[in-house]
Each structure stands twice: as C-alpha cells, then as structure tokens.
Structure 1
Amino acid sequence: MNSKTLILLAIAATFLSFTTHLSQKNSLSGEFNPKKDLLLVQFDCKTDVDDLHTVAAFATLLTDTNFSSLKYHAVAGTYGIQEGLYVPPNDLFQLAFGSNWTDAHNQSGAAADKVKVIVQETLDLQGDIWIAEAGQSDFTALLIEAIQKDLPEIKTAKRIHVIQHSDWNENSTSPERLQFVKENVDYIKIPDGNAEGNGTPGFRDPEFTNWKEKIRNPDLFEIWKLAIDLSNQYNGKDGRYNNEAVSADGLDFSDLSEVCWILDQQDIRDVEQFFNLYAH
C-alpha cells in the first residue's frame, strides 16, 4: 500500500470519526440548552454501589461555576428487572441535592407522576428534557407514559432525550419497556463510561485512592465521605454486586459519563482529570 493510499485512508477515517461524533451530538433537537432544558439524572442503586460515587461526582460537577445554575432533578430507585438488594441512598441524596430529588424505590408510579409535574414546567417553557440513564429504563417508560397521557400535545420523540452508556443496564430493563422508550424518545447510546479512550470519559479507576487530597470544599468533602462510607458498607454485602474498584478503595462513577456527554464535557479522559478540573 503506497503512501498516497495511506493518506487517503487516514483522511477518510478522520472524516468518519468526525461525522459519527457530529451525528451523536446533534440529536433531533440539537444540544443541551442550559437556559431552557432540564437534566434528569436517574439512579437505579441496585445492586452496584457505583451510583453512590456518581452522586458525589455529580455534586462535584455542580460546584463548578459553569454548572452552578444548571436546571436538574435527581431520581433514586429507577431500577429494572435485575435481582439483588437495593443500596439505600436517601441520606446521600438529601445531603447532595437537598429537596431536589425524588425517591422512586417501591413507589415508581407515584414518583413518575411527581417527576412529570417537574418536567412539565420545562416543557411548557419550550425546553427539552435530557435523561442521564444511570440505570435501567423502566422508570423512564412510566414517566413517558404519564407525559403522553396528560400532555398529549408533547412530541416526546423530539423533546425528550435519553442517554444510555451501558449494555448491562439495557439488558436489565424490561424488554417491552426498553422498546417502548426507544420508540417514543430520542434514544442515544454512547460508549461505556467504565472504559477509557472510547469517546467518553472513563470514570472507573481501582487505583485512584487519594480523593481526600483533591477535595477542598468542606461540604463536598462530606458528600464524598458519606458516599465512600455507604459504598464500603454495602459493596458485595448480602449478595449485592461486588464492585472490585470499590473493594480496592478506588472510585467508580462511570454513570457520570452520560451527564458529561449531555453537558459537552465528554473529552474528559479519566477520574484523575475529572478531579483536577472540578474538585477545587
């Protein structure tokens, strides 16, 4: 293969990469608009403790001046059909988000109705809804059904965007509900946040143990301390999933890759770079 052919192949590969990234970021309604849009961050909390780390990481992101006025709402207990025990996150959610969260554990229908009211405020102001699916899509299906029932004028396929990074999350969603979500929203699958160098941040690192040295904000320190304490308390206990990164005293907030994608921060490389950017 001559040098001219190699150059042409390289140009073609670069163009393909660029157009693939562009098609991902330019969804049906464009990119996240911080002035109008609402970010829903939905955590299954079953049975992996990585959601606890992700809550702390999201709270860290919110302390940055670029995101301090972000319109968001968090939801706990948005699990699907996976077996295993729940990881109780309520104290952490309260500490991290105050009253700006909803508990869907054992009350998914009522929680969907509550979140629908919050979502409606944004939709009425012509904003879109962006869902970081830090878990399964069963709750999202209930939410979409509630919106379609009470707000039939809303074109959910254009106004609601669901971002998913995990094959396991999809496989642990009720198949009929996953299909319903894919058919009724702008559903975007991004590369897995557990790995580095694939186009999204790699936020799972068993060797990153010096988070205490990075956090300067005392309120944020308390959030991380509670997240770490709870994850150590429940990781691998009573048949729950044993997260090896957590067992090694490292960190796993891989689900934050979806939030970073929505907020156009997908170029962050790894856990260390995240802390260097946002922990101060």
Structure 2
Amino acid sequence: MKNLFLFKNVLFGLLYTLFISYSVIAQEPKFNISKDLLLVQLDCKTDIDDLHTAAGLATLLKHPDYKDLNYFAVAGTYGIQKGLYVPPNELMKMAFQSNWADADKKWEASIDKVVTKALNIIENGGSIWIAEAGQSDFTADWVKKFSEKNLAINIRESIHVVQHSDWNESVTEPIKLKYVQTVTDYHKIADGNEVGNGTPGLKSDGKVDWESKLNDEHLTKVWNTAIRLGNEYNGKDGRYLNKSVAEGGLDFSDLSEVCYILNLMNIKNTDEFFTYFMVE
C-alpha cells in the first residue's frame, strides 16, 4: 500500500510538471506577422557590427516569407558606453528608405515616432517585438513615455524585448535596464557572436561567400555599402576594433535576436543564413 501511495505521488508529480511545462509553452508569446511590429534598434557605437546587421535585416526582408513583415528600424539607440558613433545614415536610407529613425540626431522625435507606431499596433490587437541590437536606454525612454500616455495597456503583454549581449546590458544605464527588465516581457538569449550555443552565430572568422547567393542588385549594393563603411570606421579614432571584420569576415550577430523573434533559430551560422535567404 505504501509503495502504491508513493507511485501515485510520483505519477501525480510528473503529470503536474508536464502540465505546467505545456502551459508555459502554450502561453509563450509568438510573433504574429499579420498584426505585430518588428522594431530593430541599432546602437551603432562604437562597434561597426550594426552596419552588417542592417544589411542582414535588408536581406531577410527580401525573402518572400517576409514581404508582409511590418518593421521599423532605429539607429543611434546607444547607452552609456564611451567612444565615437559609427555613422550609418547612408546605409539606412539605402536599406530601409524612410522606414527608419535617427535617434542619434533626433532622440526625442524618434521616441515620439515609435510611441505613435506602437500605439497603432497595440490598439489593433498586435504586439511590439524589439530586437535590442544595442543597449536598452532608448527602449526605457519610449516605453516609459508610452506607458504614461496609455495607462490601460498591459505593457508586459504588449511589448517584448530580446537581448543577446551581456556587454550591451553592462553599458545600459542601470536604472533604465532594470526598468525594461521589470516592465516589459524581457527575453535574454545566448550570444549571437558564438556558434553552437542554440542561437544563430552570425559572426564569421573569415570571408563569407555571400555574393554568389544574393543574386540581387539592390542587396549587393546594400552589402557592399555596409562592408565599405564598416572597413572605413572599424577601429578608427578609438572605436572598437572588430577583428573578425578586419580579417575579412562579417559580423551581424545582433540579427540573432530577429531570428529568435521570427523562429529562425535553426540557422547555425553566417553561411547558413545566406543559404536560407538565397535570392534566386
């Protein structure tokens, strides 16, 4: 009888654990391409990797699966790190036309633009998914302004933040980082600079054969511009020296967050990325 009692308790415990696990998985929020907004925020200071990340995003957007993707990009969303900015405007205009904002020169105006977009999305039943390709200072500022204007909206249910970098967190204003982690639905994923940790490793140690896979004149121009600007500013005037890029490689590691949001975590590395998004 005692053994039967123990068996029932163990069985109940297993079933309860499975039920809880299933509930968590079932309730995990997913990006809804028909309603949600992908917000890609690029700090561009002082590493040049965000230039490659912008080109990577432009490549993804060209794929037929994402032709209806609602997105917006913001450059200059840096935190408290020292060092010089990497000017991305030439590339941003080429890659995204008018679908981006310049927070470096117009911080408050960029906040207002994002707040307006976020309200429109959420009022229509969608959510905001932020690929935090940098620090969370800009996120904290616009979410705070949004929440003060829209007290009835549940921020945690409506605004999802994805971060992959410990360093990015370390150079976010601590109070602002804590605010974002507390108020929003904050996801921390493994670092996109590494391969084999469950997150796409979108940084190469050597040259990547992207030209043969992107049979597209516009994307080729975008990548050539990103690479040219990256080489121009890499390590210049005390900026961070990205050794992988200096040796001829690519670094769009921040795009790993976009892969997480869009459920593309099976992509292993830079080569697989270009194979997946090959333009015929």
SS of residue in 1 equivalent to 2:87:
coil
Q: Name the CA distance, whole Å, in 2 between partners of 1:24 and 1:92.
A: 38
In the TM superposition, 1:140-219 aligns within 5 A as 140-219=139-218
Contact in 2 for aligned 1:48/1:235 (Cα 8 Å): yes
Per-residue CA shift, 1:47-102, capped at 9, x if unaligned?
Answer: 00000000000100011100111000000000000000000001101000010001
Quick check: 1:59 aligned with 2:58? yes
Q: Name the CA distance, whole Å, in 2 between partners of 1:158 and 1:104.
A: 26
Moved over 3 A (4+): 22-27
Q: Name the CA distance, whole Å, in 2 between partners of 1:25 and 1:115.
A: 29
Partner of 1:265: 264
Give the C-alpha shift of residue 213 in structure 1: 2.5
Q: Name the CA distance, whole Å, in 2 between partners of 1:203 and 1:98.
A: 24
Q: Any stretches of 5+ residues in structure 1 without a counterpart?
A: 1-14
Per-residue CA shift, 1:14-60, capped at 9, x if unaligned?
Answer: x99xx69x958953xx2111111101000000000000000000100
Partner of 2:100: 101
SS of residue in 2 equivalent to 1:207:
coil
In the TM superposition, 1:27-176 aligns within 5 A as 27=28, 30-176=29-175
Q: Name the CA distance, whole Å, in 1 between partners of 2:187 and 2:63.
A: 26
Change (3 A) 1:216 1:260: same
RMSD: 1.9
Per-residue CA shift, 1:139-171, capped at 9, x if unaligned?
Answer: 000111111111111111111000000000000
Partner of 1:228: 227
Partner of 1:4: none
Q: Any stretches of 5+ residues in structure 2 without a counterpart?
A: 1-16
SS of residue in 2 equivalent to 1:41:
strand
Q: Name the CA distance, whole Å, in 2 between partners of 1:171 and 1:261.
A: 22
Give the C-alpha shift of residue 277 in structure 1: 1.0
SS of residue in 2 equivalent to 1:213:
coil
Contact in 1 for aligned 2:209/2:271 (Cα 8 Å): no
Change (3 A) 1:246 1:220: same
Q: Which has the larger radius of gyration?
A: 2
Contact in 2 for aligned 1:193/1:201 (Cα 8 Å): yes
Quick check: 1:241 aligned with 2:235? no
Contact in 2 for aligned 1:24/1:188 (Cα 8 Å): no
Q: Which amino acid aligns with 1:59?
A: A
Q: Name the CA distance, whole Å, in 1 between partners of 2:141 and 2:254.
A: 21
Change (3 A) 1:171 1:24: farther
Per-residue CA shift, 1:91-149, capped at 9, x if unaligned?
Answer: 10100001000110043222111110111110110101000000000000011111111
Q: Name the CA distance, whole Å, in 2 between partners of 1:23 and 1:42.
A: 28
Task: State the identity as a percent.
Answer: 50
Q: Name the CA distance, whole Å, in 2 between partners of 1:69 and 1:256.
A: 19
Partner of 1:276: 275
Q: Which amino acid aligns with 1:86?
A: Y
Q: Name the CA distance, whole Å, in 2 between partners of 1:24 and 1:246.
A: 38
Contact in 2 for aligned 1:208/1:272 (Cα 8 Å): no
Scaled by the length of structure 1, the TM-score of the pair is 0.90
Q: Name the CA distance, whole Å, in 2 between partners of 1:76 and 1:259.
A: 16
Q: Name the CA distance, whole Å, in 1 between partners of 2:278 and 2:91.
A: 18
Q: Name the CA distance, whole Å, in 1 between partners of 2:219 and 2:271.
A: 17
How many pairs are equivalent? 262
Contact in 1 for aligned 2:193/2:253 (Cα 8 Å): yes
Give the C-alpha shift of residue 239 in structure 1: 0.2
